[in-house]
């Protein structure tokens, strides 16, 4: 995440899931471990209207560089 932030790409961790919200915290009748794992290991990247083609490309190229350690021009 920090590498993306250093490149000017705003990010935040995962998604909100209802079982972690205060209204549902005491309801443990369901095993939602997969949902929690996905929330803990996901990343939210910029998505907005109107997003320019060059902005999308910048994000994708840099995600590939960081994730796959590729040398992409």
CA dist., res. 29 & res. 46, Å (int): 35
Q: How far apart are the first and last CA of the chain?
A: 21
Residue 73 has pLDDT above 60, yes or no: no
Higher-pLDDT residue of 27 and 54 is: 54
- Read off the pTM: 0.66
CATH of segment(s) 2-68? 3.90.1150.10
Size of the chain in residues: 73
CA dist., res. 16 & res. 50, Å (int): 25
Q: Are 45 and 15 in contact (CB under 8 A)?
A: no
Residue 18: predicted pLDDT? 81
Say how far residue 49 (Cα) sits from the centre of its chain. 18
């Amino acid at each position: 995440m920090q590498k993306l932030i250093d490149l000017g790409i705003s990010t935040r961790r995962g998604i909100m899931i209802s079982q972690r919200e205060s209204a549902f915290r005491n309801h443990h009748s369901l095993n939602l471990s997969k949902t929690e794992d996905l929330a803990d290991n996901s990343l939210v990247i910029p998505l907005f209207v109107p997003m320019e083609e060059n902005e999308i490309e910048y994000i994708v190229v840099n995600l590939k560089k960081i994730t796959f350690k590729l040398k992409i021009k």
